[in-house]
Amino acid sequence: MDYLIATHNMKKREELQRILAPLGIRVLLAEEAGVELTDVEETGQTFEENAFLKAESGCRESGMPCLADDSGLCVDALDGAPGVYSARYAGEHGNDEKNIQVLLKALEKVPEGKRTARFVSVACCVYPNGEKIAVRGECEGKIGFDQKGTGGFGYDPVFIPEGMGGRTMAELTAEEKDSISHRGKAVKALANAIESRED
């Protein structure tokens, strides 16, 4: 069965595809499905609200089940920031390098023991009949003092997940990342919810 994903981010699509493929689900970008999606303004105050806005709009415009996720980094020393503003923390949407620099600057005087953080991902699926599934995944860790690794995207080079030997998310293999990542957890929960829906 084909599901649309409300993103232009190829890496997000690949991550979702790896986890949903065993269910016989093919994840398509709008371009592959031959539909044009409106860019949804993420006006929600929570990851749940933003994920739903994107999935609902994509489903309405395509007539297909639509997947969307909203995710971000929540840093304890910054009262949960950047949170829902993670992708545009430096003021320009999707500039990973600038976002990381702004984050490291904000944490400049914060000692190692107080740099705790978590990645949060909310995955949502909206079906043409109006049915909605929303699940949440979190990955605990801390923010490093400099960037390490070349894999992943976003804040991966500075996020050190718990239990991975002090490596950043960007230093993990795709399989390692899927096994512990916030999006991996959210998408696995989504896969379980989709599977039980179809039983």
- pLDDT for 14: 84
The backbone torsions φ and ψ at residue 59, rounded to the nearest 5 degrees and listed phi first, read -65, -45
Burial profile 69-97: b = 16 or more Cβ within 10 angstroms, e = fewer: bbbbbbbebbeebbbbebbebbeeeeebe
Which one is catalytic: 39, 70, 96, 199?
Answer: 70
Q: How confident is the model at residue 47 (pLDDT cuts 50, 70, 90)?
A: very high
Over residues 55-75, mean pLDDT: 95
Confidence of residue 199 (pLDDT cuts 50, 70, 90): low
DSSP of 116-174, one letter per residue? EEEEEEEEEEE-TTS-EEEEEEEEEEEE-SS---SSSSTTGGGEEETTSTT--GGGS-H
Catalytic, 69? Answer no
**DSSP tag of 86:** G
pLDDT of residue 195: 85
Mean pLDDT of the chain: 92
Domains defined for the chain, CATH in brackets: 2-198 (3.90.950.10)
